[in-house]
Amino acid sequence: RPEPRDVVLYGFGRIGRLVARLLIEKAGSGNGLRLRAIVVRPGSGRAADDLVKRASLLRRDSIHGQFQGTITVDETHNKIIANGNEITVIHAGDPSEIDYTAHGIHNAVLIDNTGKWRDREGLSRHLRPGIDKVVLTAPGKGDIPNIVHGVNHHTVKPDEQILSCASCTTNAIVPPLKAMADEYGVLRGHVETVHSFTNDQNLLDNYHSADRRGRSAPLNMVITETGAASAVAKALPDLNAPITGSSIRVPVPDVSIAILSLRLGRETTREEVLDHLRDISLTSPLKRQIDFTTAPDAVSSDFIGSRHASIIDAGATKVDGDNAILYLWYDNEYGYSCQVIRVVQHITGIEHPTYPTPTH
């Protein structure tokens, strides 16, 4: 049985809090991943107020609902206690300020949810006393492995200390893309993601360093770039097909849809493609990544809380000869957070048993 492993969350935003929920949910056995600390920037108010606000954001969420269990705060020791798990809240402006061993944390995996550093040099700042590995919840730059669980997590070298879980959109398109490439071959592709707005955008028109993202998120459809297309090459290096992509942010708070348009290596039919993808979702090694729905009235809010990286909408699927268009729903917050947890479980050797037992 693997030894329990300490986990530290650096940043406690949308993804950080959902990852925290998932870690706490799986902590009951006592021999898995232990969320020991959360690192946040010092707030402008009193420390006690800051702690209560962080705990309150974990307890209630406008999209994902109430935390399942009890949360209390220990202001004396600066801790949040969630379902009995004591989580130290560390206030720091920079990784260099922290000695994790002083908090009793050793050999830990640090999950960086801030996206502030994307390259090896920047993320190496986290390799402080007590930290063994760093996982980034954003696309990594340079030679950092971009890992999509289910597709290329087996390629992580045991001694690799820094890796990325790519983006929510990359996780949504890479598993179905692999499923299609393995069966039909893919000559080229384009992904258009209709994406819920995020905290990176403005509530009302205001200055933003990126084009268009300064315009009001709840009032507009906003064309923006997506790094998902270029990230595909890192997760699927054997796929020689050019993949292009762009994104339109729309006024919904969560759940996005990726429209994946593919030129296949051979002609096929809609029925054959749907049979293939249904089988992939039920019996293949990608069954935790790919879900499949035939619901005739499915809309985005139906997929809030989905633990899959991608849900194929059978009714919207189009196939004409060697052209296929797949419509892939994904909870860009929760489904992605589940993929992050799977990667962390893999690199620590702490895989919770699932039934039926995988056959691969």
Q: Cα(212)–Cα(214) distance, rounded to whole angstroms?
A: 5
Known active-site residue 168: yes
Q: Cα(72)–Cα(47) distance, rounded to whole angstroms?
A: 15
96 phi and psi angles, rounded to 5 deg: -65, -15
The CA R_g of the chain, rounded to the nearest whole Å, is: 21
Answer yes or no: are the C-beta atoms of 259 and 327 closer than 8 Å.
yes
Q: Can you give the length of the chain in residues?
A: 360
Residue with tokens 């600066």: 78
Answer yes or no: are the C-beta atoms of 138 and 16 closer than 8 Å.
no
Q: Which residue in 22, 40, 163, 168 is the catalytic one?
A: 168
Q: Cα(270)–Cα(274) distance, rounded to whole angstroms?
A: 6
Catalytic residues: 168
